[in-house]
Structures are given as structure tokens and as C-alpha cells.
């Protein structure tokens, strides 16, 4: 058990989710053929990733997803409602009973940011949730955030503010703020 080039959990997870690129997938499969150590780690990943995949596809998680995940679910015929905002942008948004996934694409200049947090605030600017150290691919110009469908479908008219923050020793730096004016389209109670 001494793999000289162990694959990271993120790569193994992407592999199991089926979102690795063709070339990367081939390299990993060749490696797994001869490496029990990485194989064992992959099996550990499977229980976890399977659960996450199902939850993500049901659209009930608030999470940052990859472009590949988005392509995959669209190919599978899920209906994706997507709002794309520049830094400082605002959107009028809603969700209908037909939507499977609700996606916010937040554009920002993240070059040089070692850690990026996504802060989700109510209309008064009070932070309600923070996703720390979200995955940002090198050279990425946007973050793809999946809102919880369970939450969005139940939400009354409300305002939600998202902020992308860069964190380093110097503290926090605002990369972009995004305001969503949500209009309810489905009846029922709900809210924060
Ligand atoms: Zn290995």
C-alpha cells in the first residue's frame, strides 16, 4: 500500500459521478487497474458520492456544482432554470412546478483567490448560510450555484443577496454581489 501518485478525493468523486473528461477518465481507470490503494479509496468514495448524486439530482441541496454536472443533468432531460449574473448584477427570478433544478451562475474575477466563500444573505443583508471554500476551477470566470428546489418552491416573495468572498491572511475581499428578487409562483407557506 504505497501509491506514488494517489488520486485526490475530488477526482475520485468526479469519476464516480461520471463527470471526468474522457482523457482524465482513461488515465484514472488505467491507474485503478494496478493500484489497490486508490481502488480502496474509490470504494470509500462510492457510498458518499452516490448519496450526494441522488440528492443533487433531486435538486434539494444547496451546493456549488460543476459545468459537467450541469451538462449531464440537461442531457438526462432534467429541466434547469438558470440565471446568469455579472458581479453587481440583479435578477428577477421565480421557479415553477416544472423546474427540476434552479441554478445561479455568478460571474466574478476570481484570479488569485486562494479560498472563495459563498455567503447567502436575506434582503436585510444578514448572512443566513455560508458555503466555505467552494470549489473553483483554475481560470474559472463564474461559480455555478444550485439553489435548493425544496426551498425555492416554498419560498414567498423575497430578496436574497449572494456574495462571493475571497479569503486570505489579510481578511475578506468582496469579489461580487448578486441580488435576487424572487417572485413566488407556487401557493403555500414557507420562507427562511
Ligand atoms: Zn494509486
Q: Is a pLDDT exceeding 60 seen at residue 192?
A: no
Helix, strand, coil percent values for the chain (each to nearest 5): 30, 30, 35
Average of per-residue pLDDT values in the chain:
86
Q: Does residue 99 carry a pLDDT above 50?
A: yes
- Give 45 Cα–ligand 1 centroid separation in angstroms: 14
Of 108-112, 131-135, 162-166, the least confident? 131-135
- What is the distance in A from the centroid of ligand 1 to the CA of 113? 30
Quote the cell numbers at residue 185: 409562483
Ligand 1 center–CA 155 separation, angstroms: 46
Percent of the chain residues topping a pLDDT of 90: 36
| CA 47 / ligand 1 centre spacing (Å) | 19
49 band by pLDDT with thresholds 50, 70 and 90: low
Name the band, by pLDDT with cuts 50, 70 and 90, for residue 70. Answer: confident
What is the pLDDT averaged over residues 108-119?
93
pTM: 0.71
Q: Tell me the percentage of the chain whose pLDDT exceeds 70.
A: 89
- Quick one: cell of 95? 421557479
- Give the residue-averaged pLDDT of 28-57: 79
Surrounding ion ligand 1 within 5 Å at CB are: 3, 6, 35, 37-38
Burial (CB count within 10 angstroms: exposed 0-12, middle 13-18, buried 19+), residue 76: exposed
Look at 169 and 84; give whichever has higher pLDDT: 84
Residue 40 Cα to ligand 1 middle (Å): 9
Distance 104 CA to ligand 1 centre (A): 36
Whether domain 79-182 has CATH 3.20.20.70: the reply is no
Alpha carbon of 12 to ligand 1 centroid (Å): 11
Domains of the chain by residue range? 9-57, 79-182
Amino acid at each position: 500500500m504505497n501509491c506514488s501518485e494517489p488520486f485526490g478525493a475530488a477526482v475520485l468523486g468526479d469519476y464516480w459521478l461520471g463527470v471526468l473528461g474522457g482523457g482524465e477518465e482513461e488515465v484514472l481507470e488505467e491507474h485503478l487497474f494496478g493500484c489497490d490503494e486508490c481502488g480502496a479509496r474509490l470504494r470509500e468514495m462510492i457510498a458518499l458520492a452516490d448519496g450526494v448524486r441522488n440528492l443533487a439530482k433531486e435538486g434539494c441541496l444547496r451546493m456549488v456544482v460543476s459545468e459537467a454536472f450541469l451538462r449531464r443533468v440537461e442531457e438526462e432531460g432534467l429541466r434547469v432554470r438558470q440565471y446568469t449574473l455579472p458581479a453587481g448584477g440583479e435578477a428577477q427570478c421565480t421557479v415553477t412546478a416544472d423546474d427540476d433544478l434552479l441554478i445561479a451562475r455568478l460571474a466574478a474575477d476570481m484570479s488569485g483567490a486562494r479560498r472563495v466563500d459563498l455567503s447567502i444573505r436575506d434582503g436585510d443583508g444578514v448572512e443566513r448560510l455560508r458555503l466555505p471554500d467552494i470549489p473553483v476551477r483554475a481560470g474559472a470566470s463564474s461559480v455555478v450555484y444550485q439553489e435548493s428546489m425544496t426551498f425555492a418552491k416554498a419560498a414567498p416573495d423575497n430578496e436574497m443577496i449572494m456574495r462571493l468572498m475571497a479569503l486570505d491572511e489579510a481578511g475578506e475581499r468582496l469579489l461580487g454581489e448578486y441580488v435576487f428578487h424572487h417572485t413566488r409562483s407556487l401557493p403555500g407557506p414557507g420562507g427562511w
